Amino acid sequence: MPAGSSDLLHSLPASRYPGAAVQSAPLWLFAYGSLIWRPGFEYAERARGYVHGWSRRFWQGSTDHRGLPGAPGRVLTLTADAGAACWGVAYRLDPGAQESTLRHLDVREQGGYERHSVEFQCVDGSRRGSWPALMYVAAPGNPDYLGPARLDEIARQVSRASGPSGSNLEYVLELHAMLAALGMEDPHVADLAALLCASTAPAIQPDGGRAQPQPDAQPRRRAL
């Protein structure tokens, strides 16, 4: 999912894709992309886990965050995959800021994403269980959808793209580092990161600027 600066977010209109209705409290949001390493909102609790039937893919174009019109970046969406499980984190939204957080996310994810309801499977230390959550997915047919491509083609596009929120390269490497730190390495993300590191090795410092592991399910009161 593309992340945006606060100035950009406040200047954009509301989401074109309203999607699923808001659930009753407590409201959880499942994150599988940049929301893992750069949530940008306050939350009351975080839990690790997965959702059944979805796979992460760099099949969504970004012209508002990690690319530009005419030179889109590639960011993550989920594709239906009956035998798969997509690992990520779920955030329990701060009840006092729930509505404003969702408005913020609708703007951040407006480049083709829509809300979906999903069942989150919590696997966080000794904590187990499942509960409903919202997630943002960019489906085929949205204006910025790019679809499948060979991994080397995706890597070339990522290495060249940049937008108001930063480089497409940063998006991939920060996510890969955080997934690895959380013990959730994804082959699609890891293989793409390896290609990018091999092609840009002189410019990348080992672990430079990458996210560090965070304690499981720790409350965070300050927006990033």
CA dist 192 and 203 (Å) reads: 17
* Residue 184, C-beta contacts closer than 8 angstroms, at least 6 positions apart: 48, 87, 88
* Number of Cα atoms under 13 Å in the Cβ half of residue 223: 11
- Rounded to the nearest 10 degrees, the angle between the axes of helix 168-181 and helix 151-160 is 120
* Residue 31, C-beta contacts closer than 8 angstroms, at least 6 positions apart: 1, 39, 88, 89, 90, 91, 135
Token digits for 103? 């408005």
Q: Catalytic site residue 114? A: no
Among candidate residues 42, 45, 99, 109, the one labeled active-site is 109
Strands (DSSP E) found in the chain = 28-31, 43-62, 73-93, 113-124, 127-138, 162-163, 166-167
Look at residues 56, 78, 51 and name the one whose alpha carbon lies nearest to residue 133: 51
Enzyme catalytic residues: 109
